Structure 1
Amino acid sequence: MLGIIEDFKELRQHLGSLIDKSGYRNAYIADKVGMPASNFSQKKKRGNWSPEEMERVLAVIDNPELEDLFLLEIVKERDRGDTITYDQFRKEMGWS
């Protein structure tokens, strides 16, 4: 359950960069979501989107490529901790 909240926070934080990568102009998206362009620009800059605003923006810009970019951002920011190579893992497991 906490993972869902973390993913929501990540999406909210990165929505501005997803908008940039979508290829749509801010004015176009603002018009489609029914928001003045100046308000849209400020929300994009500050990242203070409401869940409803996020939903409307994502309905306009959503595509598989942007979803992949978002998931990549999540992976980059999550702490992966210590890792080992496959060869080290095999050695620790006693496999030859």
Structure 2
Amino acid sequence: MLGIIEDYKELRQRLGALIDQSGYKNAYIADRVGIPASNFSQKKKRGNWSLEEMERVLSVINNQELEDFFLLEIIRERDKGDTVTYEQFRKEMGWN
């Protein structure tokens, strides 16, 4: 359950990057979702979207390429931790 909340927070924070990656102009998206352009720019900068606003924005920009981009960004962020080789892992686990 906590993973779902973390994913939501991550999406909310990265929605501005997804908008940039989509190729649509801010004014076009703002018009389509019914948010004044100046408010849209501020929301994009701050990442303070409501759930309804996120749904409307994603309905305009959503495509498989953006989903792949978002998932790759999440993986890159989570992959910054320390790693061990398979042999080190086997040794730590006590496997022969």
Q: TM-score range by the shorter chain?
A: 0.7 to 0.9
Identity of aligned residues (%): 78
In the other structure, the counterpart of 1:85 is 85
Aligned residues: 93
**1:48: how far off?**
0.3
Deviation string 1:40-80 (CA, Å, 9 cap, x unpaired) is 00100110000100000000000011101111121122266
Kindly indicate whether residue 4 of structure 2 is the aligned counterpart of residue 12 of structure 1. Answer: no
Counterpart in the other structure of 1:24? 24
* Partner AA of 1:43 in structure 2: K
Q: Partner residue of 1:60?
A: 60
In structure 2, the partner of 1:45 is: 45
Per mean C-alpha deviation after superposition, the further-off stretch among 75-84 and 54-63 is 75-84
With normalisation by structure 2, the TM-score equals 0.86
Instruction: State the TM-score, normalized to the length of structure 1.
Output: 0.86
Question: After the TM superposition, which parts of structure 1 deviate over 6 Å for at least 4 consecutive aligned residues?
Answer: none
Cα RMSD over matched residues? 1.7
